[in-house]
Each structure stands twice: as structure tokens, then as C-alpha cells.
Structure 1
Amino acid sequence: MRNCLECGLTTEGLFCPTDGMATIVPGVVPKSGELPLSTVFAGRYRIVGTLGKGGMGAVYDAQHTGTGQKVAVKTLLIDTVHDPAAVKRFFLEAKITAGLQHPNTIRVFDFGQSDDGLFYLAMERLQGVTLADRLAEYSAQGKRMSEQEAATIACAALRSLAEAHRVNLVHRDLKPSNLFLHDLGAGETVIKVLDFGIAKSGDQQQQLTQAGTALGTPAYMSPEQVMGRAVDARSDLYSLGVVLYQCVSGRVPFRGDSTFTVLMMQVNDAPPDLSQVAGVSAAFASVVGKSLAKAAEERYESATAMREALEPLARGEHLHAPGAAGIAPAKVAVPPPPPAAPANRDHASTRPPAPVQGLEAAPPLPARAVRGSTHGGVKPPEPPPRRSLAPLYLFGFLAVVGSLAVAFWLHGRGPSAGATEPPHAPAGAPAAPRDRAPAPAP
């Protein structure tokens, strides 16, 4: 018999008939956390390679024995299966992501527990690089991402988030390593939002973390997330604002010599003026500034509103940053559902690149993976006023930071979906998509 992870119901099925959560066999301990090559796992997935490993799990390159479909199989490591919260969070990620259907969201096909006790999920096999990888490539070449390319990538991510937010789901860990540039071949790229592992539904009744503990990545966390307070869709917009800031400047807005310092800056400090740091257009700086407002009510009210403000920039309008002049409006199209594709490069998250003085803007290419309206320009919103929230936040912040430090140490992140080597380029030089993720200029 099996037990439901959500309600504890005893059943013979792989999924609970009451709430649809995966069931597990209590007391079954995996013999090993490793899956050797050629192993047929869970009765239907043949392991053909290892894509990566992280603090909580491993990701394998696999093929369905019946259909031949290429998939990425993510498993929990042996040391993690004894942590009920980690197991529940793992299956919550699978259940949440399986319910999202937007083409800019990673697809989950299957999840459960194998006969030998390993917890797993089978997901879309991706091919390409993460945004973190792409930014590292630009930095190594002394370049920075253009406003148009950054806006194009953000618009695609916002379409994915809009679907999640409509079902009251907040991602809570948006960062460059969780945005994947999936290469479809023939010069087409689609952005995929990855890793809903710490996503939280506003309807959830049971917390997966202790009270006062904030999960996320310090450099990208919203002030309310740092404080361990309730978050909504606007928290994700803040995180995406940090990503946009990093894309065009080569640095995150808040940096310090300790996690505590960065978190305190997220709560209290205004970000350095992006137009001064990176010389971007007023329109781009205004969008980023609004998304980085300390008070959630001063940010965009929804992912759709932020996307509508960015779309003119993705089309090449309102741009006058160095290297961005004379760009024709981009062609906007709906990406087809991406087919699974083989590849074999191990993937690891890339740390945010250090700022590089005098970076040259790489020339942008048209944005294809952004599906959206083609209406005219949007008047840039006024930048939010600077304000200090220290009197409101300091007490709560000090109460949170102790548990937060422990959470960061314990909460290792498993690797994302099967990131792989681009199919038409050597390692370290991803194929240049026509649409949304141009390769760095020589």
C-alpha cells in the first residue's frame, strides 16, 4: 500500500484519488542515489547519460523505452529522501509544473516513486544554455546584452508567469539560471521558465518551511520575501527586474561581502541608477525602476502589465543606448511546442558575472519566442520615488535572518532540466536563434 504525501490517505494507486498528489511506499529506502548507464528506471526510462547534480538531486538524460521520447529524469539524492519537507517540495514542483501548459514553461510528463524507492520526475528535454550561461559568455567577450534582447527574454518569461499567477502561483526563485534558452534548431530559440521547486500557491494550507524562513536567492529576492512576509505575483516582477538590470549592466543591483548585507540592501537601499550604470534608454530604465520598487503596490500590478511596458522595447522602439540605434521593429510570432532534443553537456548554474567597465552592447536580433500584441509604444511609467523602509522592516528582518541563513545552507538546489550543448555550435558558443536569444557578436 502507498500513502499520499498531501493528505496521508492509504491507497494502492500511484496518485491520490482525493487530491492528485503522488503517493509513496513508506519505509522503502533507495538502494542507491546513482543511476548507471543503460539502467531502465521506473520500468520505462532508459538512462543514457548524466546531465548534472545539485544539493538535492540529480538529472539524467533518458529515453522512454516505449515511445523513444527523449526526456530529462530528475531524482532526489539518497540523503534527501529522509527529509519529508524536501520530498513534499519535490513532488509539489512536479504537480505544479505539470499543471502549467504555456510554451514558455518547462513541461513535466511524469512523476512518482520507483519500485526501488527513488523519487523522480520526467520532464521536457531541453537543448541550449541558461540565461546565466549566456550572460557569462557576454562578460567573457567584454560585451553586454542589448536592451532589445533583454526585453525580449523578459517578455517571454512574463507570459509564462502570467499563466502561473492566474492560478495564484508565485515562482519565488526567478534568476538567470532558471531561465533557459531552448534551441529548436534552424535559428529558433524559445525561453523556458524552470524550477518551480519553491513556488508557493496562495491557496496552500500547509507551509513547507518554518515560519519566518524565506526561500530564494538573496540577490534576486523581493523585500517582502526577505522579510518572510506574504508574497504575491509582484514579488516575481521584482526578481525579474533584478534579472533585467543584470542583463544590460553585467551586475546585480545589490552586492555585498555577506548574505546579510545583500538582504539588508534589498529591504532598504535604492538600486544604483541603471541609466548611469549601463547607459540604457530612459524607457528601459523606467521599466526596471518600477519593477524594483520597494513597496509591492508601486510595482506593475501584473505580469501582463509589465510585459506590455516591455514589448515596445522588445520591438526595438524607444532605444537609444550605445549599439541599439537604427534597430527595425522585431517580428513577433508564437513559438511552436518544442520537440524533445538530445544533447549531452553537463549543466551547472553560473554565478552572476562581475561588472565589466566599458562593456560594448552586443547587437540584438528579432524576438520570435515572444508571443504578444503588436500595439504601439507605451509611455514609460514614472520611476518610483526613493523611500526608506528601514523603520518598518528592521525589527522583522533581524528576526528572519537567523533562520534564513540556516535555510540557505540546507536548501541546496537540484539542477534544472536537461541543459545541454547547443546542437549546431561547439561548447561555449550557443547557436544564434533568429528570434529571442542572439549569440554574442564577435
Structure 2
Amino acid sequence: MNQSPFASPSNTGLLANRYQLKQLIGSGGMGEVFLADDILLGGTPVAIKFLAKTVANTKMQQDFAREALMSAALSQRSVHIVRAYDYGVSEKGQPFYVMEYLCGKSLKDLIPLSLPMFVTLLRQICLGLQCAHQGINIDGKVYPLVHRDIKPANILVIPDPILDKLVKILDFGIAKFLNYTSTASTSREFNGTLPYCSPEQLDGEKLDSRSDIYSLGVMMFEMLTGKKPWQPETDYFGAWYKAHHFEPPQAIADVNPSLKLPQDLDNLIMACLAKKASDRPQNIAQILRGLESLGQQNYLSLPKNLPAKSTPSSLLLSGLSTTVEQTCWQLLWPQDKPIQEIVFPKLLDIKQGFVAALWLMLPKHEIKNHTFSSRYNQFIFIKSPHPMLLWVTLLYNRQLTPKWLPCYLDMQNLQNRRLVNSLAENKDYPLIFFTLEAPHTCTNVISSHIDPTQRQMLKTWVKQSQNLPPSCQPHLSKHLLKQQYKQMQSQLLQRLESKPLVVSGHI
């Protein structure tokens, strides 16, 4: 591969007057990926992929812009597709697109998987693919998207406080752009990955979602066994063409005899590997139904749902010390706060020090309804033009309307930095409920957990805020955070809907 024009560490210029390139973090057949800072969003880290292809003419630029735009639109609809923020063409003609920067592991580095983990990750991959195959509506017309390069290297698995493992599918739409802009110098040139290509893809035919399902079948086989369904003598096109068109896949039991696979799952994988598209599952929904059936038949050692009424109070309050809990119950609604539905953060002074808490005033029936809701939290920070933190707590129950509790904290304020530092030091924080109805007393105290990764981020943000020069533009930063908040709400709800088995109560 030719060296990217931005690979030199001496190059400190901005890309598109917005992205400060920092370092090369990955490379492959489709291009190179750089870590960069988004200056417009206060230095937020992003990943920028420069495609190996050079966009040589206006038509190709239009093709790339169309594919990148559709990919970006798709990423707003599914939490399981890596978010694309921006795209363009460099001064030297290299197309690039800007993605969210994620710290995780490639699926190829995790396989083979245990059966429960296989089902967990596969379900999320299917949800992302299903969203793409259903298409994007542009000007009243629906455009289905086919990935064309489904393989373990294009699946990223990242830690997640809700799902534990969150799947992100990479490079949507870009494979198609590379395919139909490739030179016609050889009839065998294409941009898929040979071990995962469907027979119709190797023949250069028009592809639909069933081609992705074939690639998914190859990947499912590999996720469980660590091997491909075929072992051709060479890795050249001809050998793989013969395997995909004429050779039956190996039996999973022959590749890994110790793997006790449910027959229904074995049948599903082999159906995905059918040579003819008409013999495969015709859509992702059929695969998802097969996975749901496995869970219902108790094939997998997965936790069962617990009814909300059976959740003990100790589960709800397990994260809070007795001292903190007793302090919360003794509190009175502050006289300087209005009697209305509001939420605000405040430090509690206890014997051991200070504890950050959320104070809420809600109608009695809402407090009662959300007593057994699960709690989730997210934090977003921007440094520029003014250091500000968004702290969001969500009370979630599938039977109720989600209750969002956002707090915007000016991080130039010393008291707010102390509050955020307390969040970083304590793995749980209390939510203190006061009734909107008189006499406005404290009627409930529950806790929400902050995972270690989030706590480390909070510590870093406090330090960064201390070292930033004075600013007087908090309203601009709050406006930017509100935009990100709307996106985060839809993403968080998608994650919760992707979680098939949920235990009520404290997380």
C-alpha cells in the first residue's frame, strides 16, 4: 500500500479545517486509519479512514459522497453500526470518512467463542445487518444497503456498561464504493475478502442481503470453531472460487468434536452457507428468530428475567453505605429550589467526606413506578469552547416511558469539579426522591453504579478542566452538548432494546 500523505509525524496541518491528525492506528486492504482530534468539538477523539483508492474524477467523488452519506445516515439508526460523522476527499484525491473512536477488540482476536458469548455477539451483529438491509429512506425512496465484506476483522467488540459487550460493524457502504469504482483491467478484480465471499459475489452479480447472510454463515462457523468452513490448497482466487461454488463446507462436529452444538444452530449455520441464495435464510429476521428459539429451549446457560416484584430492596441499595443511606433519608427539600419536577446534583456532607447525589422531585406515582427501574448513566465532556460535562442518568423499565435525568455541569466551577471528583471516587451515587405533592418529603433512595472505565474518564476530565485557560462561553458548549445528548438518547435506548435478557434492579 502506498504511504498515506498524512502518515508523516511532521504533518501538523488540519484536515478539512477541523481534524488534527495524530497517529496511524491501523491499516489494511481498504486503507489506513488515523487517530485525530475534532477541533470543532473541543478535541473529541475520532478515527479517520483514508481509503486506498484515489478519487480521480467528479463522478467518482459523487459516488463516494453518496455511499458515505448513506453510511452516515445508517449509523444514526443502529447502535451496532459504527457512527460515521463526516466524509470528504483530501487535496491529493484520497477519499476519507470520519468515525467515532472506539477502544475495543476485533472479533478476529476473540474467536473461537463460548456458545453463550457467540449467541450474545451474533444477535447484535444481526440487528445491525437487519437495520442496513431494511434500507435508508432518501427523498421518499428506500435504498437497502449490503455490506459486501462481512468478516471478523470488520466487527469491533467494545466494553459496555449495559450490554457488557457491544458489537460495532465497520465499513458499511465503503465496500460497495470500492467495488463499483474499481478499474476494469481484470475481470477478476473485486474488493471482497475471498474466504467470506458468496458465490454470486465472486461471479460479479448484483448482490442483495442474502450475500451478506452467506458471509455471516462463514463467520458464524469461524466464531465457534476458529476455522473456515473450507481449507483450499492456496489462497488464490481460483481455489476459493472452487470452494465457494462446488465444495461442501466441513461439518462443525468434524472441525471441533468437543463442541456440543444444538442441532438447530448447526442447521442454521449450514443453511446460511448454501450455494444458492434461494436456499439460504431469505432475511436476517429468520436468523434472529432461530436464535430466540435457542434461548427459549434452554440450550444456552443464560440468566432468566426476574419479575420486578421479586427484586429485594438490598439489591437496589447494595452500592450505598449505611451512613450515606441514613443521611439521604434525613434530608429536607432545599428552600432555594422550586416545588416542581426537577433534578439537580448536590454534594452530601457525611462523616467520611462528600458524596455526589442526585436530588429529584417527582409525582408520587412516578416515584412508585420507577422504584424497580434499572439505572444507567452516561457522561459526555467537551473542553472547547468552554469545559462542560453532561451527566445523564436513565431510569429504564420496558413497561414505562424512560425517565431521563440530565445535568449540565460547568467545569470551571470549583464546586462542580469537586462533585465530579466525588463521582470518580465512589462507584455508586444515590438518587434521592422527593414527592411533588405536599409535604414534599423524601420517599425513596436508590443507587446507580458507575463502572471503572467511566470513573477513570471522570478523573481525567477533572484534571483537564483544572489546566484549561479561563473561558466565558458556557452557552456554546451547552448547545453542543444538547446536540450530542439527543444522539446519545437514541443510542442508549437502542442498546437497551438490543439486550434480550435483563435483570431488574441495580446494575
What TM-score range do you get, normalising by the shorter chain? Answer: 0.5 to 0.7
Distance 2:13 2:127 in 1: 38
What is the CA-CA distance between 1:300 and the residue it aligns to?
A: 0.8
Whether the aligned pair in 2 keeps the contact of 1:226 and 1:267 (CA below 8 Å) is no
Query: TM-score, normalization: structure 1?
Result: 0.58
Q: Corresponding residue for 1:399?
A: none
Q: What is the 5 A alignment of 1:224-303?
A: 224-258=200-234, 259=236, 260-278=238-256, 279=259, 280-303=261-284
TM-score normalised by length of structure 2: 0.52
2:127 maps to 1:159: yes
Q: Structure 1 pair 33/285, CA: closer, same or farther in 2 (3 Å)?
A: same
Letter in 2 for 1:238: Y
User: What is aligned with 1:105?
Assistant: 81
Which aligned pairs between 1:384-395 and structure 2 lie closer than 5 A? none
Displacement of 1:89? 6.5
Q: Which residue of 2 aligns with 1:61?
A: 35
Tell whether the 8 Å contact from 2:78 to 2:128 is kept in structure 1 after alignment.
Answer: yes
Is 1:32 equivalent to 2:10 in the alignment? no
Residue equivalent to 1:123: 99
Equivalent residue, structure 2, for 1:150? 118
State how far apart, in whole Å, the 1-side matches of 2:94 and 2:208 are.
Answer: 33
Question: What secondary structure, in the 3-state scheme, does the structure 1 residue paired with 2:213 have?
Answer: helix
Report the equivalent of 1:16. Answer: none
Q: Secondary structure at the match of 2:110?
A: helix
Which whole-Å deviations, capped at 9, do the CAs of 1:91-138 have from their partners, x for residues lacking one?
Answer: 454223112021101111111135676532211111101101112xxx
Task: Check whether the contact 2:54–2:93 (CA below 8 A) recurs between aligned residues.
Answer: no
Q: Which has the higher helix share?
A: 2
In structure 1, how many angstroms separate the alpha carbons of the residues matched to 2:453 and 2:23?
16
Which of 50, 71, 82 aligns to 2:46? It is 71
Deviation at residue 90 of structure 1 after TM alignment: 5.0
Partner of residue 291, structure 2: 310
Amino acid at match of 1:296: A
Go from structure 1 to structure 2 and tell me whether the alpha carbon gap of 1:316 and 1:152 turns closer, same or farther (over 3 Å shift). Answer: farther
* Displacement of 1:159: 1.1
Summarize the alignment of residues 195-234 of structure 1 with structure 2, pairs less than 5 Å apart.
195-200=171-176, 207-209=180-182, 210=184, 213-234=189-210
Alignment partner for residue 184 of structure 1, among 160, 168, 176?
160
The structure having more radius of gyration, on CA atoms, is 2
Partner residue of 1:193 out of 169, 172, 177 = 169
Measured after TM superposition, the shift of residue 307 of structure 1 is 1.4
Cα offset for 1:317? 4.4
Q: 1:188 to 1:241 in 2, by over 3 A?
A: same
Backbone CA RMSD of aligned residues: 4.0
**Structure 1: segments with no counterpart, 5+ residues:** 1-29, 136-143, 342-371, 373-421, 425-434, 437-442
Distance 1:115 1:253, change over 3 A: closer
How far apart, CA to CA, are the structure 2 residues paired with 1:49 and 1:340?
A: 24
Q: Which amino acid aligns with 2:253?
A: S
Contact 1:180 1:192 in 2 (8 A): yes
Read off the aligned partner of 1:281 and give its amino acid letter. P
Bigger relative CO (Cα 8 Å, ≥ 6 apart) = 1
The CA deviation at 1:45 is 1.4
**Structure 1 residues 212, 198: closer, same or farther in 2, change over 3 A?**
farther
Q: What does residue 417 of structure 2 align with?
A: none
Distance 2:63 2:229 in 1: 30
**Could you tell me which amino acid in structure 2 is paired with residue 298 of structure 1?**
D
Paired AA for residue 73 in structure 1: I
Between 159-168 and 209-218, report the one with greater CA deviation.
209-218
Partner of 2:145: 169
Q: CA deviation at 1:161?
A: 1.2
Aligned partner of residue 105 in structure 2, secondary structure? strand
Separation of aligned partners in 2, 1:261 and 1:84? 37
Conserved in 1, the CA contact under 8 Å of 2:232 and 2:240? yes
Structure 1 residue 58: deviation in Å?
A: 2.1
State the SS of the aligned residue for 2:231: coil
Length, aligned pairs only: 300
Distance 1:96 1:340, change over 3 A: farther
How far apart are the structure 1 equivalents of 2:38 and 2:189?
39
CA distance in 2, matches of 1:285, 1:293: 13
Render the CA deviation track for 1:243-274: whole Å, top value 9, x for unaligned. 11011111010121222222211111111122
3-state DSSP class of the match of 1:270?
A: coil
Paired with 1:70 and 1:198, the residues of 2 have a C-alpha distance of 22
8 Å Cα contact 1:71/1:125 also seen in 2: yes
Partners of 2:62 and 2:290 in 1: CA distance: 37
2-structure distance, mates of 1:119, 1:159: 28
Of residues 22, 37, 49, the one that matches 1:48 is 22
1:328-366: CA deviation from partner (whole Å, max 9, x where unpaired): 4489xx9x999899xxxxxxxxxxxxxxxxxxxxxxxxx
Give the C-alpha shift of residue 48 in structure 1. 2.9
Q: Flag the 1:178–1:93 CA change in 2: closer, same or farther, 3 A.
A: farther
The structure where strand makes up a greater share of residues is: 2
**3-state DSSP of counterpart to 1:99:** helix
SS in structure 1 of the partner of residue 255 of structure 2: helix
1 CA distance for matches of 2:127 and 2:378? Answer: 16
Inter-partner Cα distance in structure 2 for 1:337 and 1:221: 40
Of the structure 1 ranges 146-155 and 285-294, higher mean CA displacement relative to structure 2 is found in 146-155
Alpha carbons 2:68, 2:174 under 8 Å: kept: no
